[in-house]
Each structure stands twice: as structure tokens, then as C-alpha cells.
Amino acid sequence: MASGFMGKKVNLFLLLMIILVLLGFGGISVYYQYTFKNVNQKFDNISTNLGMCEQNLSQTADALMTTIRNLNSTEVDIRKYDVLYEQKAQELETKKDELSDTRADLTRVTLQKEVYKRQIDDAYAQIIGLNKSITSLNSQIRSLERNINRLNTRISCLRNTVDDDELSSCFS
């Protein structure tokens, strides 16, 4: 009777452990899925910002080219031309600095993208490994359940047969 009680405790403990492991795997899967979604959203936002920067840079470059053509074709008022040229040169320097900053940001974003891509690849590899572990553990559980059923059948046979007939009846 004591071993029956212990067997139930062990079975309940094993069942509880299996449930905890499955819940853990489920939680890990949800966490990685959520993290992947956040990384994709951040990447989309950065890509959108980069597109707007490129468009602004293109428009500014077009405006700058137009202004330079107007300055070259206008020789009427030298003072006006000098002041306007100085303004545009300063704007050009500002735009060059902005372009340099944008290039640095682009390089940083590209490096971050690679890091995130590696992290995602690592997470997928880990998920695949965990899924293989789950499959292996499920196979072991089924094997152990079959062994338990076989041993329970022998126990039942041993209890229901006479001692002299046990060897031939229960172990054949």
C-alpha cells in the first residue's frame, strides 16, 4: 500500500513536471514571437525615417542646384550675389553635415539590422532545438507509459494468480 501511494505521488509529480515544461516552452515561444514583432516594427520605423531623409535630401539637392544655376546666370548685382552665395554655401555645409550624420545613422541602422537578423536566426535555431527536445520528451513519455501499463498488467496478474502458476501465467 505504501508503494502504491508513492507511485501516485511520483506519477503526479511527473505529470506536474511535464505540464510545467510544456508551459515553459509555450511561454518562451510567445516571448520570442513578441520580441520578433517588436524588432520588425522598429526596423519598419527606421526604414520609413530613412526614406523620408532620402526624399528631403533629394529635394534639398534639387533646390540647391536650382539656386546655383540662378546665381551663375545673374551678374547684375554683385553684392546681392555674394550674400546669396554665402547663404547657400552655409546651407550646403549644413546639408553636408546632415548628410554625414544621415550616413552615420544609416551605417548604425545597417549594423543594428545585421545584429537583429543574427538574433532572430539564433532564436529560430533555439526554437527548432526546443521543438526537437519536446518531440524527444514526448516519445520518452509514451515509452514510459507503455512500460507502466505492462508492469501494471503483470502486477494485476500476480495478484490474481496462485503463487505456483505465476511464472507461467504472468511472465510469458
Q: Phi, psi at residue 76, to the nearest 5°?
A: -75, -50
Q: What are the tens digits of pLDDT across the range 109-164?
A: 899 999 999 999 999 999 999 999 999 999 999 999 999 999 998 888 888 887 77
Round to whole Å and give the CA distance between 120 and 116: 6
With a cut of 80, say whether residue 89 has pLDDT above it: yes
Q: What are the tens digits of pLDDT across the range 101-117?
A: 999 998 998 999 999 99
Round to whole Å and give the CA distance between 78 and 76: 6
Per-residue pLDDT band at 1 (split at 50, 70, 90): very low
**Three-state DSSP state, 67:** helix
With a cut of 50, say whether residue 97 has pLDDT above it: yes
> What's the confidence (pLDDT) of residue 90?
92
Round to whole Å and give the CA distance between 114 and 108: 10
Q: What are the tens digits of pLDDT across the range 50-61?
A: 788 888 878 888
Q: What is the pTM of this model?
A: 0.36
Round to whole Å and give the CA distance between 74 and 84: 11
> What's the confidence (pLDDT) of residue 13?
84
